[in-house]
Amino acid sequence: MNKIYQKRSLFYKKPVRRKFSGFTLIELLVVVLIIGILSAIALPKYTKAVEKSRAATAEVLLASMTAAAEECVLITGSGYECSRLGMDGFSTSFPVNSRGTTGNEYFDCGAIGNYVSGGKNVMTMSCVRTTNDYYLRKEVGKNADTRILCGEWEERSCRNIGYTEAVTVNGARFYARPS
């Protein structure tokens, strides 16, 4: 018999090649795992960068406030006189996000008083983060410390934004940026 005329069995089916479209479950799980690992690495770095930019904004406001206070101290000759003239009452709040709508996203900045000790006659300006993580302070006046110092209520708050050098002022512990 010729091969052309051979009959096939009733139970024999010609193999059909299927085209698969899409991804297998394993491939999808691998992609999700890779995205999870990348986000776990990137998110802490992003939040740290955001907080550093917020602190930099507070430093700029603190610098402008201390410029005004320094002018007052130069004119009157003492931080006490500036306090008496109402410089202590100078304060402001500003949002640290673009919306400015959430109550816990503010810095409260202002003069927190003056003191005379150890040859210093200074007025202290500060910006306090309203979430009470940390605050920035700067002295203005005769023999004042010219650095912006960071005090913290929560562990490592100052060090997370770049203030790593430990400094003691009047028995209190602060952190300064390394010089």
pLDDT at 98 over 70: no
pTM: 0.65
Question: Residue 129: inside a domain, yes or no?
Answer: yes
Question: Residue 63: inside a domain, yes or no?
Answer: yes
Question: Residue 2: inside a domain, yes or no?
Answer: no
Which has more confidence, 37 or 112?
37
Question: Residue 147: inside a domain, yes or no?
Answer: yes
pLDDT at site 99: 47
Task: Give 3-state DSSP helix, strand, coil % of the chain, rounded to 5.
Answer: 35, 30, 35
Average pLDDT score over residue span 64-76: 79
Question: Residue 8: inside a domain, yes or no?
Answer: no
Question: Residue 97: inside a domain, yes or no?
Answer: yes
Question: Residue 148: inside a domain, yes or no?
Answer: yes
CB of 82 closer than 8 Å to CB of 123: yes
The residue range of the domain holding 96 is: 25-176
Q: Both tokens of residue 68?
A: 């005004």
Q: Name the DSSP class of 159.
A: H
Question: Residue 100: inside a domain, yes or no?
Answer: yes
What percent of the chain is modeled with pLDDT above 70?
A: 72
Domain count, the chain: 1
Q: What torsion, rounded to 10 degrees, do the Cα atoms 157, 57, 54, 140 define?
A: 20
At residue 118 the predicted structure's pLDDT band, cuts being 50, 70 and 90, is: low
